C-alpha cells in the first residue's frame, strides 16, 4: 500500500480508538470535575463493561440481540456498582482527595481480582452485531487527471463506523444533559461550590453518587463498544486508565470539550506513533508526557491558567 492510503487507514483506526477513549475519559473528567476526586478504579469499570458484555451476550446466545442487550445492561450494572461504592466508601472519606485515591486503588484490585476469580484469565471475544467490510477509495493522479481507485486493504468495517457514530452521539447527549437539563444544572452547581449547592437545597450526596455512577457507566459503555474489536480480559483496565489519564490531563482536568479534543489527538496519534515506535517506547513517552505536563503545566495543555 502507498503511504497516502496507509495514513488514511491509520487515521480511521485512530478515530475508533479516539471515540472509545473520549467516552472513557469523559467519565473520568466528569467525576473529577464535579467531585474533585481522581478515580483510579476507572479502568476497571471499563474492563467490567467489556467482561459483562461477554457474559450478557453469551447468556443471550450471541448474535445481534445479545450485543444490544449488553449495550443496555452492562453500563447500568457497572453504574450501579460504582454508585454503591460511592455511598459505602467514598462518602465516608468525605471525598478527601488523597484518601479517595487510596480507596479507589483498593477498589481497583477488588474489581480486577473478583473478575479473575469469576471470569478467569482468558481473553474472550464478543461477536459484533454487524460487520460488513466497506472498501474505501483513494485518489490517484493518472493520465488525464484524478482517478478513483480501491487500494487493496484500505477498508473499514461497518461496526467500527458504528462505534465512532455511537460515541459521538453519546458525547453529544452528555453535553446536552450537562447544559440543558435540571440534573445537569445541579451537577454544575455542585461542581462550582459543593457547600453552596447544599445550602440551596441540592441533594449533593445524591448528585455525587449519580455522577460517580454516570462516570463509571461511560467507561463501561466504552468497554462494551470495544469488545467486538478487542477481546475482554481482566487486565485490560490498566492501559485504558493510563490513556484516559493522558487525555484528561492534557485536555485540562474537568473540561469536557478539552477532553474530547485531547482524545481525538491522542487516539489519532496513537495509531500513527505506533507505526514509528515500539509500543513500549510509545508508552514511555506517554507516561513521561503526563508527568511533565503535571509538573510544568498543571492546568493542561489546552486549559486556561488558573488565577
Partner 1 sequence: MTARVLALHGGLIAVLLALHFLLPAYHHGNLARVMVLACYAIGYNVLFGYTGLLSLGHAMFFAAGMYGMGLPLHFLGIGAELAFLAGLLSAAALALVVGLLALRTAGVAFMIVTLMFSEAVYLTILLAGKWTRGDEGVVLERAERVFFGLDLSDPDIRYLAALALFALCLFLTLWLVRQPAGRVLIAIRENDERARLLGYDIFRHKLAAVVISGTISGAAGAAYGLLFGYVGATFAEVQYSIFPLLWVLLGGAGTIIGPFFGVLFMFYLIDLSSGITSAYMLIAGIALVLLTLFAPQGLAGELRRRRMRWLP
Between CA 218 and CA 288 the distance in angstroms is 27
15 vs 232 by CB, closer to partner 1: 232
Q: CB of residue 303 vs partner 1: minimum separation in angstroms?
A: 13
Taking the complex as a whole, the smallest distance from the CB of residue 45 to partner 1 amounts, in Å, to 15
CB burial of 243-282 (b: ≥16 within 10 Å; e: otherwise) equals bbbbbbbbbbbbbbebbbbbbbbbbbbbbebbeeeeeeee
> How many Cβ atoms sit within 10 Å of the Cβ of residue 193?
11
Please report the DSSP string for 200-219 in residue order.
TT--HHHHHHHHHHHHHHHH
Residue 210: which of 192, 183, 189, 188 has the closest Cα? 183
Q: Note the residues at the interface with partner 1 (CB under 8 A).
A: 38, 89, 92-93, 97-99, 101-103, 105-114, 116-117, 238, 242, 245, 249, 278, 280-281, 283-284, 287-288, 290-292, 294-296, 298
Complex with partner 1: residue 220 or 246, whichever CB lies closer: 246
Nearer of residues 117 and 148 to partner 1, judged by Cβ: 117
Q: How far is the CB of 113 from partner 1 (least distance, A)?
A: 4
**Cβ burial 105-130 (10 Å sphere, 16+ → b, else e):** eebbeebbeebeeebeeeebebbbbe
**Closest separation in Å from C-beta 67 to partner 1:** 29
Residue (93 or 166) nearer to partner 1, CB:
93
* Nearest distance in Å: CB 198, partner 1: 23
Neighbours of 288 (CB within 10 A): 10
Q: Is 246 or 265 the residue whose CB approaches partner 1 more closely? A: 246
Amino acid at each position: 500500500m502507498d503511504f497516502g492510503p496507509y495514513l488514511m487507514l491509520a487515521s480511521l483506526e485512530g478515530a475508533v480508538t479516539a471515540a472509545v477513549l473520549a467516552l472513557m475519559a469523559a467519565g473520568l473528567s466528569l467525576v473529577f470535575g464535579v467531585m474533585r476526586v481522581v478515580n483510579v478504579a476507572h479502568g476497571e469499570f471499563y474492563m467490567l463493561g467489556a467482561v459483562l458484555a461477554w457474559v450478557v451476550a453469551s447468556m443471550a446466545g450471541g448474535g445481534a440481540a445479545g450485543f444490544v442487550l449488553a449495550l443496555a445492561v452492562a453500563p447500568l450494572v457497572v453504574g450501579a456498582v460504582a454508585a454503591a461504592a460511592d455511598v459505602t466508601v467514598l462518602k465516608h472519606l468525605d471525598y478527601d482527595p488523597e484518601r479517595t485515591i487510596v480507596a479507589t486503588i483498593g477498589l481497583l484490585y477488588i474489581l480486577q481480582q473478583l473478575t479473575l476469580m469469576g471470569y478467569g484469565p482468558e481473553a474472550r471475544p464478543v461477536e459484533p452485531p454487524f460487520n460488513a467490510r466497506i472498501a474505501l477509495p483513494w485518489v490517484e493522479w493518472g493520465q488525464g487527471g484524478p482517478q478513483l481507485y480501491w487500494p487493496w486493504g484500505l477498508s473499514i468495517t461497518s461496526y467500527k463506523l458504528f462505534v465512532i457514530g455511537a460515541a459521538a452521539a453519546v458525547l453529544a447527549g452528555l453535553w446536552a444533559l450537562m447544559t440543558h437539563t435540571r440534573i445537569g444544572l445541579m451537577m454544575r452547581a455542585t461542581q462550582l461550590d459543593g457547600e453552596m449547592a447544599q445550602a440551596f437545597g441540592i441533594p449533593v450526596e445524591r448528585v455525587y453518587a449519580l455522577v460517580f455512577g454516570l462516570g463509571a457507566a461511560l467507561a463501561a459503555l466504552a468497554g462494551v463498544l470495544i469488545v467486538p474489536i478487542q477481546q475482554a480480559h481482566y487486565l485490560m483496565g490498566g492501559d485504558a486508565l493510563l490513556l484516559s489519564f493522558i487525555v484528561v490531563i492534557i485536555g485540562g482536568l474537568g473540561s469536557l470539550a478539552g477532553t474530547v479534543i485531547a482524545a481525538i489527538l491522542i487516539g489519532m496519534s496513537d495509531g500513527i506513533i505506533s507505526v514509528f515506535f515500539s509500543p513500549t517506547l510509545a508508552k514511555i513517552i506517554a507516561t513521561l508526557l503526563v508527568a511533565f505536563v503535571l509538573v510544568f503545566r498543571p492546568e493542561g495543555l489546552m486549559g486556561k491558567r488558573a488565577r
